[in-house]
Amino acid sequence: MSRPAAKGRAAAEAEVTRVSDATLCGFIGYHMKRAFNVVQADLNQTLKPLDLRMVTYSALVLIVDNPGLRQSQLAEALDVERANLVVIIDELEGRDLITRDRVPTDRRAYALNPTLAGRRLYDRALEAVRGHERRILNGMDEEAKQAVIRAMSVIRRGSEGG
């Protein structure tokens, strides 16, 4: 329809010197993926000295901010399967960053609570991640940041209310 067919045919014979991603650049999702790859890579490097990954970091933050929450609540908040959360919690508990406390009123459930070491690591991790964001956003002004947050929220909302 809109694609100039002649160009494609002609170019097929010649050498491709510079690969054009112009079509993909027309999509927001493409830009998001490329940018997020960068963010993820840098964040994981940032967290490596603290022996944390993205998920363990997020889990720790949510546990410190919401002490006493259940594993199922955390799983839902993190958007991971309950089953897959187990190993994450195992890791944090094994490092004495959190405790699994039985809930007297519901003996099926565990209440997750941070230890002192967990809170200390939380503080260190938060500082590190703030630095990471300063680095990757590289002087982006506040207005631009807010615009991104608004846009991301629009995308997230859209998936809820079908």
Residues that bind DNA in the complex, under the rule CB under 7 A: 53, 55, 70-72, 75, 80-84, 86, 89-90, 100, 105-110
Q: Cα 57 vs. chain centroid, distance in angstroms?
A: 10
Tell which positions 138-157 bind a second copy, by CB under 8 A: 138, 140, 144-145, 147-157
Contact 110, 70 (CB under 8 A): yes
> Residue from 53, 91, 100, 136 that binds a second copy (CB under 8 A)?
136
Give the shortest CB-93-to-a second copy separation in angstroms. Answer: 16
162 binds a second copy (CB under 8 A): no
- The pair of structure tokens assigned to 152 is 């991301």
Tell which positions 63-102 bind a second copy, by CB under 8 A: 64-70, 73-74, 76-77, 79
- Choice between 73 and 148, CB closer to DNA: 73
Q: Which helix H or strand E contains 60, and what residues bound it?
A: helix 54-65
How many helices (DSSP H) and strands (DSSP E) are in the chain?
A: 8, 3
23 binds a second copy (CB under 8 A): yes
Kindly tell me the burial class for residue 52, based on how many C-beta atoms sit within 10 Å of its own C-beta (0-12, 13-18, 19 or more): buried
